[in-house]
Amino acid sequence: MNKTTGRALSDIDHLQQSIADILLTPVGSRVMRRSYGSRLLELISQPYSIGTVLQIYTAIADALRQWEPRFTLKRIQPQWSNVNKQAEERQNGILQLVLNGDYLGESITVGVTV
């Protein structure tokens, strides 16, 4: 079910909504399910470094492995709205995560905007 319209979702659309919900829900924010979610929002506000990028990848992979068993993550491709890779210019940009993986034996790509 679509969380905003209440309409039925296809399998892939439901998966995409579920992945976005998992990644955009901070760990500890859900009552009675404190371990649900990911550390993604906490980490993207950290100073940019290779260590932070690796922590972001790990947070995404761990959260999806724990909370979305229908999807097997194969690749994460971050795409910043600002083409220039300078840290100052990324601060106010939009991060689009392109996640490649397997869903019911089929290779798919899912996008999540942060």
Tell me the mean pLDDT per 10 residues along the chain, length 114.
Answer: 80 92 94 92 86 93 96 91 55 80 94 88
Sheet with 106-113, strands from edge to edge, namely 71-80, 95-103, 106-113
In which residue are the tokens 């901070």 written?
26
pLDDT for 30 equals 86
Q: Is 2 among the domain residues?
A: no
Strands (E), 12-114: 71-80, 95-103, 106-113
Q: Which two tokens stand for residue 94?
A: 């939009």
pLDDT for 79 equals 81
- Which CA distances in Å does 76 have to 3, 4, 46, 71, 111? 25, 26, 19, 13, 10
d(CA 63, CA 104): 19
Q: Is 1 among the domain residues?
A: no
CATH code: domain of residue 41? 3.10.450.40
Count of structural domains within the chain: 1
pLDDT for 100 equals 97
Q: Is 53 among the domain residues?
A: yes
Q: Is 6 among the domain residues?
A: no
Range of the domain at 18: 11-113
Q: Is 5 among the domain residues?
A: no
Q: Is 78 among the domain residues?
A: yes
Among 51, 50, 104, 56, smallest CA distance to 77 is for 56
Q: Which residues contact 67 (CB under 8 A, 6 or more apart)?
A: 22, 36, 37
pLDDT for 46 equals 85
